[in-house]
Amino acid sequence: MTTMPGPIEQLLEATAAGHVYLTPADRRGRWRQAFGNAAERVPEPYGLFTDDEQKQFALGFPLRAGETWSEMRRDLGRLVEAELDYRRALATLSESSKATLVELRRAFTGHVAGMLENALIHDHGQRLPEILWLALSAEVAGMLGKAVATAAPDMTTTSLKALDEIRYTIANRITEAANRGEAEAFARIRRVEGAEPSPAAQSFAQSLREDLLPFAAESIGREGKELPAYLQGGLRLDAARFQQVVKTTTEQLQTLRERDPGFTQALALVDFESVDEPTTTWIYRRRILDLLAVWPHPAAPRLSDELRSLLSDLGARLRR
């Protein structure tokens, strides 16, 4: 019996060209592995219809941009500009004051707290808090990307690598402010409603903030264009060196695949959906990396425990 794909799987399939690190198996439902315990909190998109409600034109999340949202966006825009000015001053050893910046961070924290409290109270299983976090991360990434791109021509002494680090540092500061907003919202819910938010209710937002990528970039790019910036700015890795390690290991995996059919047969027992996938996707799969650790063939790449953990963690982040 064939199971009908759900709204998430339908959306992933409809936008497959934009998902560099999602394989067909991921789009069919294996994406859940990347989220772990937070998978059950991933919100399902709604069918979006034309004004006459006769034709569905897309899957997505409707957002009513009222005055509260508009005020948040105005303050967020000011915060992004202030964060960028502060980083620019640090880079040029200019004098700067953090007073305004601190006030803008507090204002954004207040916006998050108020909106999240409202979403939690009126949720009733609709995943409204999770949808709010998706909308917030998209707003931050969009504003931050535009602000850095606009400022770049004036920062002629700042390298592209440094600009990426600035962008991710700002994204991190904004997510810290959002964290405080979440804590305030939960405190209000406990005080007013007498309810304790479950860890599950926090898991999706926590994964978004820990990944940081959704707050720093609107997408990873069709060719993975954002990956070096994420490695350098978000994960504080030497992007060029790491990508060389990935390239070398992928080539070794391809050699193993060609010389030892037994590896593919063994792989079918632990992760059968990966057997027909390109070798370039294998390097980010935990089960494959664990199998490599014990595989005796001399062509098998030998990776440290630390590198295997880093690769599998990065793979999950890129698929989320």
Residue-range domain boundaries for the chain: 7-60, 67-234, 239-319
The pLDDT-based confidence of 156 (bands split at 50, 70, 90) is: low
Q: Across residues 289-299, what is the average pLDDT?
A: 94
Of 147 and 200, more confident? 147
Question: Distance between CA atoms of 295 and 236, rounded to whole angstroms?
Answer: 31
Structure tokens at 206: 């926590």
Of the listed ranges 27-41, 109-123, 190-204, 241-255, the least confidently predicted one is 190-204
pLDDT at 135 over 60: yes
Q: What is the pTM of this model?
A: 0.88
Give me the helices (H) in the chain, please.
7-14, 24-25, 32-35, 67-91, 99-121, 128-151, 160-188, 199-211, 213-216, 227-229, 239-259, 261-271, 279-282, 286-294, 305-319
Q: Which residues pair with 56 in a beta bridge?
A: 49
Of the listed ranges 43-52, 261-270, 292-301, 309-318, the least confidently predicted one is 43-52
Question: Distance between CA atoms of 240 and 228, rounded to whole angstroms?
Answer: 8
User: Phi then psi for 55, rounded to 5 degrees?
Assistant: -135, 130
Q: CB under 8 Å to 270, separation ≥6 — which residues?
A: 287, 288, 290, 291
Q: Across residues 87-109, what is the average pLDDT?
A: 86
